[in-house]
A and B are shown apart, each in its own frame.
Chain A
Amino acid sequence: GAGVSQTPSNKVTEKGKYVELRCDPISGHTALYWYRQSLGQGPEFLIYFQGTGAADDSGLPNDRFFAVRPEGSVSTLKIQRTERGDSAVYLCASSSVGRSTDTQYFGPGTRLTVL
């Protein structure tokens, strides 16, 4: 079946602008995760959804970052007043039910560049 998809694949924006990044998880997966990967680093956890609710948003760096998953499937990561330091690859992953033993399946990522 289809894997995790993310759009856009690339996003270039100017400092101060608002951006939205979209994630389509694997069909039927109730758990969804957002990560941020900076150059030369491993992915860094941002937020975890179980169904429609954000079960853990402890990784969001500040209140400019927000994510939603209104129908328990597609999720949108929203970044307000972007800063150059937000430039990174944003990865989305999903897993079947969200147990800690579950395998997370990753999308190809969205490369965000803030000029």
Chain B
Amino acid sequence: AQSVAQPEDQVNVAEGNPLTVKCTYSVSGNPYLFWYVQYPNRGLQFLLKYITGDNLVKGSYGFEAEFNKSQTSFHLKKPSALVSDSALYFCAVRDIRDNNDMRFGAGTRLTVKP
């Protein structure tokens, strides 16, 4: 079965600095990878996904993520953080052979300080 690890519970960055939120995955076959963001009292909002093709995926709000098959990672990045990026970020994976079961990581709380 597939699984996802987000090794950092919390990431703190200063506004204007680059940010990285880490994600590693484990699947039997090929992965489909997703990033979602959750603001307080709101549902998960889709940011971006990797299905196939270019390893660098660009998504909403200036975020991007790089699929690295050899390191089984899909880290989320942004060149210049905003205070409004402060939220809870979830990485998720689906095995290409399993249509239904999307596994989420435990989440990483990002705090961007002015």
Which residues does A use to contact B, with CB under 8 Å? Answer: 4, 33, 40-45, 48, 55-56, 58-59, 91, 93, 98-101, 103-109
Give the residues in chain B near A103, CB-CB below 8 Å: 34, 46, 49
Contacting pair A41 B107 (CB below 8 A): yes
Query: Do A45 and B106 contact each other (CB < 8 Å), given the known contacts A101-B32, A106-B44, A109-B43?
Result: no
When A and B form their complex, what is the total count of cross-chain residue pairs whose Cβ atoms lie within 8 Å?
61
Q: How long is the Cα–Cα vector from A107 to B36 in the complex, in angstroms? A: 13
Q: How long is the Cα–Cα vector from A55 to B32 in the complex, in angstroms? A: 20
Q: How long is the Cα–Cα vector from A106 to B94 in the complex, in angstroms? A: 16
The 5 A-B pairs of least Cβ separation, nearest first, read A42-B104, A106-B43, A106-B44, A56-B100, A108-B43
Q: Across the two chains, which residue of chain B brings its CB closest to A56? A: B100
B45 within 8 A of A: yes
Q: How long is the Cα–Cα vector from A98 to B42 in the complex, in angstroms? A: 23
B99 within 8 A of A: yes
| Smallest CB separation, B96 vs chain A (Å) | 6
A-contact bits for B40-59, CB 8 A (1 contact / 0 none): 01111110010100000000
Most A CB contacts (10 A, CB to CB) among B42, B96, B98, B99 go to B99
| Smallest CB separation, B72 vs chain A (Å) | 18
Residues of B41-100 at the interface with A, using a CB-CB cut-off of 8 Å, are: 41-46, 49, 51, 90, 92, 94-96, 98-100
